[in-house]
Structure 1
Amino acid sequence: MTFLGIDLGTSGLRVLLVDGDGTPIGAIERHYNATHPHSGWSEQDPADWIAGLEAAIDEMRATYPTFADLRGIGVAGHMHGATLLDASGAVLRPCILWNDSRSYAEAAHLDASEGVRALSGNIVFPGFTAPKLEWVRKHEPEIFSKVAKVLLPAAYLNYYLTGDYVADMSDSAGTSWLDVGGRSWSPRLLEASHMRADQMPRLVEGSEAAGELRTELAARWGIAGPVTVAGGAGDNAAAACGIGALDEGQGFVSLGTSGVLLAARDGYRPAPETAVHTFCHALPGRWYQMGVMLSATDSLNWLARIAGKRPSELTGALGDTLLPPSSVRFLPYLSGERTPHNDAEIRGAFTGLSTGTTLEELTRAVLEGVAFGLRDSFDALQATDAKMESLIAIGGGSASRYWLRVIATALDIPLRLPASGEFGAALGAARLGMIAAFDGPPENVILPPEIKEEILPNQSCSVAFSDAYAAFRDAYPGLKAIQ
């Protein structure tokens, strides 16, 4: 028997096939684009997700014969996206993505509403789902009047797979409609943004069965037996399942499009005043907290595009030995920022430029600026008493050892690198599919990876990086932490 993990990302979709022991068999990827009709807007056509999935499945079937033995599927998806459906299940408009900041005014209004933070456990960020619907209500009233269901991206794939409107707790925790402590839709939160309970999908835990693969899909994919579709997870909760971060003291730092610092928690301890996110984990009775910066590898990709080089060329030119912080400073707020500033309008900047500034110095400044942004999240998480003695490093940016040395030194914490190439959200989603299909103990399936390398903080540079971080915090007068 085999199991499939689907990781619906911002720039592409990845499907991972694993065997009955959870060992990866093979993976296929398909890519698509987001559109940006106006400054601060970010949208995607859900039809591109389906086209990418079907193309990946076609290649998977042709490449891996054991795909025919499929018994379980789990879906992980980028969080907060608003996919609006009418009464027939048709998509009404492009999905408004997590990194879309148009609804900052609506977010501020909801955040100031009585009881919203207390029930949701979080600040209402512009990227969350509820303020997006308020924006649609104000600016696209004809579309808003037709909304029968609002689905997150992963829930939309669940709908495609099962024919049912169903979402998991971890993903739904980022909507500002969920009572995160009670793990249920909140009538008060829905009312605050002019939404109704019947517009919400049915809720399940990420490791529970959400339904079965539709008969017509199973036939087209060449699968004879029933296939259980798990509730799935938001991308970061799924990544935590992929690296075995379930308990207090376990966590990771992810260098993807966004930068994430996540800590598993042994209970529900919201601290919205810190701008830390407190969400349900993918398993019952568990939660996690994380700090999020909106432009991590996106900052490096931006510099690479301007320089006409690949990101790996920029980082490769720095060598292996950690250098003291650059005299150039970079503020990594190209798309605004969440933790701890909660500022959708803040933007990035270089300071300290001179006629002698080189591309290598700009690269170092970008890597350091992202590391200092993660340090903001690290400090905010520590303020909630989250325990972090080491972190597993994942995401595309973790391929740069130099960048990892910068981050380890800036955070003063060891970073651990998994030995296997499969340990992220797709593996976590596949593991949830395994648990849902056979209802076994999650702890027997969600295990930490073998660690191949540990990146230690460079003590000889620690004072210089600490001073540079202090200067980073003072570099732009518009910066403000939530107090």
Structure 2
Amino acid sequence: MKREAFVIGIDFGTDSVRAVIADAADGEVVSVSVQHYPRWARGLYCEPNENRFRHHPLDYLEAMQAAITEVAARAGREVASRVRGIAADTTGSTPVLTDKRGVPLALTPGFREDPDAMFLLWKDHTAVAQAERINQTARTWGGADFTKYEGGIYSSEWFWAKVLHVVETNPAVSQAAVSILELCDWIPAVLTGCDDLGKFKRSRCAAGHKAMWHAEFGGYPADEFLARLHPRLVEFKASLGQETFTSDIPFGTISAEWAVKLGLPHDTLVAVGAFDAHMGAVGGNIKPHQLLKIMGTSSLDMAVAPRTRGPERLVPGICGQVDGSIIPGMMGYEAGQSAFGDVYAWFKRLLCWPLEALLPSQAGADPETRRVLGDALMERILPELERAARELPLEDGSLLALDWMNGRRTPDANQRLKGALTGITLGTDAPRLYRALVEATAFGSRAIVERFRAEGVRLDSAIAIGGVARKSPFIMQTVADVMNMEISVCAGDQAVAVGAAMFAATAAGLYPRVEAAQEAMSPGTERTYRPDPARAHHYASLYPKYLELGGFVQRQLTRQDEAHPRA
């Protein structure tokens, strides 16, 4: 391929959107822009104490326009004029209730400030009770178990649970709504100017992993099943259609309005959307028999396997398995941990409390100097903890932690679970606590690998992308030792957006298959971590204790819930 075609990948994250323009010939990133969501940055529409996290649609629109405009300007007019395709990935499940044209209700009169009319972010856990009802109904209603391809446990983080929560708690929004859209379906519709729900190309990735769509069911769950949850769900289902699409397929061509807004060619093709982890797995160059770990605030663990003849092998307790959700033509598997980097951030905040509380009151310096001093000290905490923890000798393992600070995503989703620390003595210091937390997140990673292997999914090595993977050699080596698995870190810090760019190139017809785009556009490997045999042996003996602690904590919390049922 000549160097005459460029593509744009857009990655909608929790705090910001990033856009890249990449050379379709080799994946070289020409320019990057990161734009934060202004309302989200001010904490609007969220209530952490209630696990409510919402994004206003305008945050997405404004940040996307700013990001693409900036990357186009930085790349220059000549490059921008040769953009052939755009693809977007998003967090998920991040659904929104819409009107009959697919417009989020928060963009319509009467609902502009109503959080329930906005996008329900992936980390929103207000629907725990609704998820439990979905699981109970799936097991008792007498028909097919519609959760079986979702790992057998439906999560409060997912599509139907979130919508059911809004329907049951906000009658005005429920009555006004006509349909539901995942964020990854709304963005392509916006860019192409599509306002006919019947013409929307809904993501196979989103529908399969989060909305219980499967070809065996003829699409989404049966009306009778949904009606047992709430009659409105049946009405919403009717607006979804039955067909879903992989992201190598064009959603359509960019609209004249958005072509002018963004300074892009009027024939730019827009791909069907997908979730960030799935496009990121492609950007990380995932292959069969590899686990791709996206290591950020949470973790997402992806795997692909060639389709086989005969019945589909079910892997219980994961976040679903969907034909074509990662690489079209292969089975895509999703798992992950609800908290990963967030665990370390929590410990940092804990240690920073005295700095934040006492520095402002100290005499002898002006407020700006105290602020700068405090920021500098806080930024040094994790690097210093890592240095000290790395130098600690291996110990007997009496100090153990659980990584369930934000509940458990996999194996076996349970958002009511909590983290724990055990074995603390008067000799326990901050570096030892930090190492125990790192080991806990690594044990959580191992639990995912063990579940896949137990169900016949072969995993030989791992690839890592994300902020933690590139910033912390200590964490990466610990994970490699605990999993006893080689881990390659993908080069470059835009693997997810580059993965979206690979789909853009395929949808635009520049490559015949996603694998061909991968081969040409992959950024390669930055570093490889290999397990240390002695440390791997030590952690192999410690892992059963982690499982024992987890079992104890889960039993205690279950007893509490049974004694004091929640609404």
TM-score normalised by the chain length of structure 1: 0.92
Aligned equivalents of 2:130, 2:156: Cα separation in 1: 8
**Residues 343-382 of structure 1 aligned to structure 2 (within 5 Å):** 343-382=414-453
Most deviating of 89-98 and 297-306:
89-98
Q: Does 1:60 align with 2:71?
A: yes
Instruction: Identify the residue that residue 538 of structure 2 maps to in structure 1.
Output: 464
Most deviating of 303-312 and 154-163:
303-312
**Residues 304-453 of structure 1 aligned to structure 2 (within 5 Å):** 304-308=348-352, 309-310=378-379, 312-314=382-384, 316-318=386-388, 323-324=393-394, 327-398=398-469, 399-418=471-490, 420-422=491-493, 424-438=495-509, 440-442=511-513, 443-447=515-519, 449-453=523-527
- The code of the aligned residue for 1:36 comes to E
SS of 2:554's equivalent in the other structure is coil
- The code of the aligned residue for 2:314 comes to A
Instruction: Identify the residue that residue 340 of structure 2 maps to in structure 1.
Output: 296
Aligned equivalents of 2:301, 2:448: Cα separation in 1: 7
Q: Does 1:100 align with 2:130?
A: no
Aligned equivalents of 1:27, 1:182: Cα separation in 2: 42
Asked whether the 8 Å contact 1:123–1:272 carries over to 2, the reply is no
Give 1:129's match in structure 2, choosing from 139, 159, 170: 159
Q: Compute the displacement of 1:178 (Å).
A: 0.9
More helix by share: 2
Aligned equivalents of 1:450, 1:222: Cα separation in 2: 31
Q: Does 1:262 align with 2:308?
A: no
Give 2:11's match in structure 1, choosing from 7, 20, 40: 7
Most deviating of 14-23 and 114-123:
114-123
- Structure 1's unaligned 5+ residue stretches are none
SS of 2:209's equivalent in the other structure is coil
Q: Compute the displacement of 1:39 (Å).
A: 2.6
Asked whether the 8 Å contact 2:69–2:263 carries over to 1, the reply is no
Instruction: Identify the residue that residue 82 of structure 2 maps to in structure 1.
Output: 69
1:312-363 Cα offsets, whole Å, 9 max, x none, are 5255424756852665322111211121242111111222223332221122
Q: Does 1:50 align with 2:61?
A: yes
Q: Compute the displacement of 1:166 (Å).
A: 3.3
Q: Compute the displacement of 1:136 (Å).
A: 1.4
Distance 1:209 1:244, change over 3 A: same
The alignment-based identity, stated in percent, is 21
Q: Compute the displacement of 1:14 (Å).
A: 1.0
SS of 1:29's equivalent in the other structure is strand
Aligned residue-pair number = 480
Give 2:207's match in structure 1, choosing from 166, 169, 172: 172
Aligned equivalents of 2:442, 2:385: Cα separation in 1: 14
SS of 1:438's equivalent in the other structure is coil
TM-score normalised by the chain length of structure 2: 0.79
Aligned equivalents of 1:85, 1:256: Cα separation in 2: 30
1:370-389 Cα offsets, whole Å, 9 max, x none, are 10111111111111211111
Asked whether the 8 Å contact 2:151–2:318 carries over to 1, the reply is no
Q: Does 1:287 align with 2:331?
A: yes
Asked whether the 8 Å contact 1:124–1:176 carries over to 2, the reply is no
Alignment RMSD (CA, Å): 2.6
Most deviating of 32-41 and 384-393:
32-41
Aligned equivalents of 1:478, 1:287: Cα separation in 2: 34
Distance 1:318 1:277, change over 3 A: farther
Give 2:317's match in structure 1, choosing from 274, 279, 288: 274
More strand by share: 1
Q: Does 1:20 align with 2:32?
A: no
1:98-142 Cα offsets, whole Å, 9 max, x none, are 222221222122123242124656421111111111111211122
Give 1:200's match in structure 2, choosing from 227, 240, 246: 240
- The code of the aligned residue for 2:75 comes to Y
Asked whether the 8 Å contact 2:8–2:85 carries over to 1, the reply is yes
- The code of the aligned residue for 1:412 comes to N
Aligned equivalents of 1:47, 1:6: Cα separation in 2: 16
1:229-251 Cα offsets, whole Å, 9 max, x none, are 001321111012112225x3133
Most deviating of 157-166 and 344-353:
157-166
Distance 1:345 1:94, change over 3 A: same
Q: Compute the displacement of 1:170 (Å).
A: 1.0
- The code of the aligned residue for 2:31 comes to G
Instruction: Identify the residue that residue 91 of structure 1 maps to in structure 2.
Output: 105
Q: Compute the displacement of 1:223 (Å).
A: 2.2
Q: Does 1:153 align with 2:188?
A: no
Q: Does 1:454 align with 2:465?
A: no
- Structure 2's unaligned 5+ residue stretches are 107-116, 195-199, 353-377, 556-567
